[in-house]
């Protein structure tokens, strides 16, 4: 078996197949993450305010850490409204399909 796998045409065929498989997997992965890296999203991430931290804690020997971020009330309310609006929309879609 070692003599067959050590034969240069087989070795190079396996290497080329590996490169093709890696290129295909990379392409599929790129297609999966591409929507998250739209210019508008990147611009929003760069221009966003830095998060404010309420408290930071640490414990070395017990491996415990704690960080609490502060969220502005208007942002919290907007998140609640978006979540409830999306949940209501999804409920309507699923109810229509189930009828």
Per-residue CA distances from 93 to 13, 40, 83, 98 (Å): 50, 28, 15, 9
Q: Determine the pLDDT at residue 25.
A: 97
Return d(Cα 63, Cα 71) in angstroms, integer. Answer: 26
Are 54 and 97 members of one domain?
yes
Concatenating the DSSP letter of every residue in 1-27 gives -HHHHTSHHHHHHHHHHHHHHHHHHHH
Q: Determine the pLDDT at residue 30.
A: 94
Q: Determine the pLDDT at residue 99.
A: 47
Are 66 and 99 members of one domain?
yes
Return d(Cα 9, Cα 48) in angstroms, integer. Answer: 55
Are 26 and 61 members of one domain?
no
Are 44 and 56 members of one domain?
no
Q: What is the pLDDT along the chain (99 residues), one digit of tens a residue?
A: 567 677 888 889 999 999 999 999 999 999 999 888 888 888 888 888 777 767 777 777 777 787 777 767 777 777 777 777 666 655 555 555 544
Are 35 and 58 members of one domain?
no
Are 24 and 10 members of one domain?
yes
Domain end among 10, 25, 48: 48
Which domain does 25 fall in, by range?
1-48
Total number of domains in the chain: 2
Residue whose C-alpha is closest to residue 55's, from 72, 70, 67 = 67
């Amino acid at each position: 078996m070692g003599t067959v796998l050590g034969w240069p045409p087989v070795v190079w065929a396996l290497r080329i197949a590996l490169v093709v498989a890696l290129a295909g997997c990379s392409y599929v992965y790129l297609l999966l993450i591409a929507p998250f890296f739209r210019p508008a999203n990147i611009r929003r991430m760069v221009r966003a305010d830095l998060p404010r931290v309420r408290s930071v804690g640490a414990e070395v020997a017990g491996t415990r850490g704690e960080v609490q971020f502060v969220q502005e009330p208007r942002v919290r309310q907007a998140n609640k409204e978006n979540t409830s609006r999306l949940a209501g929309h999804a409920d309507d879609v699923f109810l229509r399909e189930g009828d």
